[in-house]
Structure 1
Amino acid sequence: MTTRAREILQTVFGFSDFRGEQEAIVEHVAQGNDALVLMPTGGGKSLCYQVPALLRDGCAVVVSPLIALMQDQVEALRQLGVRAAYLNSTLDAGAATQIEQALLRGELDLLYVAPERLLTPYFLSLLERSRIALFAIDEAHCVSQWGHDFRREYRELTILHERWPGIPRIALTATADPPTQREIAERLQLEEARRFVSSFDRPNIRYNVVQKDNGSRQLRDFIATHVGESGIVYCLSRKKVEKTAEALVGLGVTALPYHAGLDAGIRAQNQRRFLREDGVVMVATIAFGMGIDKPDVRFVAHMDLPKSIEGYYQETGRAGRDGEPAEAWLCHGLGDVVLLKQMIENSEAGEERKRLERRKLDSLVGYCETMRCRRQVLLANFGEDYPRPCGNCDNCLQPAETWDATVAAQKALSCVYRSGQRFGAMHLIDILRGVDNERVRQFGHDRLSTFGVGQDLDVRAWRGVFRQLVGSGLLEVDAEGFGGLRLAEASRAVLRGEHPVMLRKELPRKPERERNARTPATAAVLQPADQPLFEALRELRAQLAREQNVPAYVIFHDSTLRNIAEQRPSSLDELATIGGIGGTKLARYGEQVLAIVMAQA
């Protein structure tokens, strides 16, 4: 079995060897066993069911939640010569019937289908008359009612085990903390399945968190380090999506908006452009992203705080799926925390759900405010111990300076208490700094003992103090009221002088020239002499993609083109040794690729 699996890996997919636990998973499933696979985005989950599909008799049925994901994967498989198809609402009745007949005749290796269609009596009847190799349940975290991508139909997929107990099932996800892992196993009746848990680490992603201080300008400076690269910018509201996309276009960036309020046709068109063109930046709400299989997204930027650390991990995981350097950038402030807490309290969810969402948000705020290695904190939320600082996050690359903020914290906490525990940070800062304005006088706060005691710190520094006091649990947000701050139980020890407070120093703003002189985290790794050949190969790829109306990356990944540019193969045999070039692609494109290489010799 192993020899045959390796042969398929090399001749069909163009890879010389399996990665991590791929080989063990492939062998386990190919032998007819169930599996639960937890592997990071870009870790090669798809191969874990695609190779067994080609090893076993019959067709593998892949449950996939999104149309875009199905179409991308099918197009990529067809480029490899694999007999793959999908059934979804984009097909007319005639095309769907042709695919159904191909399934019945045994002419398909893989068939992708949404859970809603799979569960219909008609489709189940179709499966009864077909030879099934295996069932693959992709994005299996959708089964969790506490998750960020819950799909009710996933709960009903136990029917696969009940009606076809002898057919192996493999459930896969890149986003599941330990409680969600247990829930997946329970809900899909995979308690007895072998569990394969890879590291959730994405070492190629650089994590960077900045404190919000004119977010539009900060995004502009960040985008300036990724000129011409594909990326995603997430915003919390539709209005902010529109405004941000418009601002980026004004800066010469090819930016497109995406949110649920847009016309469905415009959304689909913008998504198609993002997938098929180079250098497009998608500005979106979290309605965009799950199932996006574009490998060369070089950055994911969050203009606002996400709702949970799982959501943040999944959204940032859309960067660098090709294994090349990528960057995750998050811009957050205390206002984000207040808004999200209010959204939780004002929702119609039950108290248990609200409590869970509060805990998840608090975990994310802790991640933002930590002075430890961010990768260590992030992975700990998924039950993984990362043994040493990563060297590829802002806290490792530029360790934070700390200061003894005990006195400042006491002043802030005392001001919260004396003003009645119902005001937001900006009003409290006005009191501390002795600002004589109408609102301060209206409430008589100019007569408080804390009025003017904080003139030693500027507004920016005080904002950092309040934000970090919330992040460390010394202050709480009164989300049921108007977002005012109130003392937490832990603050008593600080006020009594029993507990010192060390905080991160707020970095001063950089001069304009210094901000724009930064080098991107995803700087090209090619030697200058190889760059012209790489660009010529990219142009050939773009031409082939246009001719076939498919995304460029399903022809070749950037990493494949980069290896060709570096190694400069002179024969088909030499080209066949490049990763990502299987037999079908070699036969289909080999001569054209070699012609480009020879022309650049």
Structure 2
Amino acid sequence: LLETIAYAETSVCRPKILLNYFGEKLEKDCGNCDNCLNPKAKFEGKDYMLKALKAIVELKQRYKGEHIANVLAGVATSAIKSFKHDEIELFGSGSEKDTKFWESIIRQALIHYFLDKDIDNYGILKINKLGKEFIEKPYSLELTESHRYNEEEEGDEGNVQLKQGSGSGAGDEVLFKMLKGLRKDISKKKEVPPFVIFQDPSLEDMATRYPITIEELQSIQGVGAGKAKKYGKEFVKLIKEYVEENDIYRPQDLVVKSVVKKSGGKVFIIQNIDRKVNLADIAATKGMTMLELIKEIEAIIHSGTKLNIDYYIDQTFDEENVEEIYDHFYESETGSIEDAIAELGEEDFTEEEIRLVRIKFMSEMAN
């Protein structure tokens, strides 16, 4: 989810972001995405970048970008308090800027190849050779302001230019609406909620990267081999026809050669669930909170992998509660946890309970 939010808020060339995510480099901006066509203001970022990189080093390269940004901005989250990072000198040293700003600096550090993200350890940031060289000999660095949608006027959205028929076509709203329409039609035929088929972030990624084969579809966020095979045929057919009719140049034409290796952490989780190991024990072994583990399981399920956690649900939760939550998601249009909590009532149902039953629902209905 954080990656999706970062992608939406960034003002950096979108193909650059996508290719960086997959370990590839795009030396020049594409010149055709919404950010290239509607550039945000730039500023001298040497000092900010240096401060962010030094903060990562000072915190022993053990934390994710969000945590680093909160430390610099002086935001005492529960995680920061638990590690006593609100008591160190670094805390609040960049408080003239907010968390969003520092998150943007860290994202741009990744784009400038100063950092590597350890996917096997849930996005922990590591300083690489280029980052160390920058710390030793800092140089002028032009950075870009990120979007602040809550601060921008409502009318601004209509002024954003999107180039159709050429370039990467990132954020293709026309295709996105067509994909949502197709998803709705399929959901009616299959008699399942639309979000069970593909969630909105997956459709947004399709409308950015234009996959036209089942193999390409499997690289889309939240789409694994299982989902691609089960639901993908009509989606890639629609996208292929749209690309051909509009003469669209796809990001795949830049050639993404690398394949992200399957996270060892996820494999560990899958294997232990198959062995019916208590989820609390899995979380403890990985040094995770229960909520962090649940979010990892959600990511596994959304990619199309089937997991059976009935053994844990049956032992832990009331059967009537489970049925009521399950029925809610069967009727839900969005599958939103927030909507479920609001409708079911947070006094009667915990977030953990709702999330785990949604995992059961998604695994049984979607995969």
**Shorter chain as normaliser: what TM range?**
0.3 to 0.5
Larger RCO of the pair (alpha carbons < 8 Å, separation 6+): 2
The two structures have a TM-score, normalised by structure 1, of 0.24
From the CA coordinates, give the structure whose radius of gyration is larger.
1
The structure that is strand-richer by fraction is: 1
